[in-house]
Amino acid sequence: MNIKMSRRSALRTITGGTVFAAAALNLPVQPCTAETAASPKLKGRIHHSVCRWCYNTIPLDDLCKAAKEIGLQSIDLLEMKDFPTLKKYGLICAMVSGVPGGIANGLNRMENHDKLVQFFEQTIPVVAEQSYPNIICFSGNRRGMSDEQGMENCALGLKRIMPMAEKHGVNVCMELLNSKRNHKDYMCDHSAWGVQLCQRVGAERFKLLFDIYHMQIMEGDLIATIRENHQHFAHYHTGGVPGRGEIDDTQEIYYPAVMKAIVESGFKGFVAQEFVPTRPDPLASLRQGVQICDV
């Protein structure tokens, strides 16, 4: 069969068959190497990070190398012991972890305050020295406590921490988590509760970590919530719903639109991928997630 193809027709085939298109245009065929397969340059409107725990099977050094290749600037949810490794690769930790008590035992219990205040007093200066922006904190579980009492207790504890945070220019961020699927009984499970807590604390250095995955499960209405309350959100996490898998078209959130709303809000912080890869090559999933969010 004698096939005639115009230059335009050949160009249309590039996405489906690079070798065929190259031959049609009399171009040299480039072998697929690590260099030619490198991630496309990012647009720079989103500062990208990734949560360490989703890639625990990969040594931290290897994850750092991959993060740099993909174009990430940060790895989230590391502790102070990990800072030297980050420094080797020119990365930061945009959301520092390690708070005692974890998710379930947080600031809504007065008996936890002394231990938590001590942690932040020791950690904030170190985080500030590294020029990292945020440290995570949690409300804790209800265990029969009313949301109003829990909010009051959280505010009291946070007001003890804020002078140190303000002195060093570090944000203390309470994460919004779902109590429906993953963190049963967690108190800070709606954005309205978190925003009200921000208003009660009344400090510039207390913010929220808006987890898109968790808030889709609890309340949806993501874009409107971001537009109305973005001044209280210092950091964002991703995740596919349902199941916290890849954030592509296998799940229900359309991430490009959510990211566009974040950019349009004037946000200058970090967005961290926090989905659990389900494919054989987890770094390919990470690369894809970053590209999806790079609006």
Q: Domain extents for the chain?
A: 1-37, 39-293
Residue 125 DSSP one-character state: H
Q: What is the mean pLDDT of residues 161-187?
A: 98
Classify burial at 28, counting beta carbons within 10 Å of its beta carbon; exposed 0-12, middle 13-18, buried 19 or more. Answer: exposed
Is the CB of residue 171 less than 8 Å from the CB of residue 124?
A: no
Tens-digit pLDDT profile for residues 105-140: 999 999 999 999 999 999 999 999 999 999 999 999
Nearest partner of 97 among 65, 117, 75, judged by Cα: 75
Confidence of residue 38 (pLDDT cuts 50, 70, 90): low
> What span, in angstroms and rounded, lies between the C-alpha atoms of 103 and 101?
7
Count Cβ neighbours within 10 Å for each residue of 112-122 and write b for 16 or more, e otherwise.
bbeebbebbee
- Does residue 7 carry a pLDDT above 50? no
Confidence of residue 35 (pLDDT cuts 50, 70, 90): very low
> What span, in angstroms and rounded, lies between the C-alpha atoms of 285 and 46?
18
Range in 24-28, 184-188, 268-272, 279-283 with the lowest mean pLDDT: 24-28
- Does residue 3 carry a pLDDT above 70? no
CATH architecture label of 39-293: Alpha-Beta Barrel (3.20)
Look at residue 40 in the predicted model and tell me its pLDDT. 82
Q: What is the DSSP string of 137-174?
A: E---B-TT--HHHHHHHHHHHHHHHHHHHHHHT-EEEE
Q: What is the mean pLDDT of the chain?
A: 90
Confidence of residue 17 (pLDDT cuts 50, 70, 90): very low
Residue 266 DSSP one-character state: T
- Does residue 2 carry a pLDDT above 50? no
Q: pTM of the prediction?
A: 0.87
% of residues, the chain, pLDDT over 70: 87
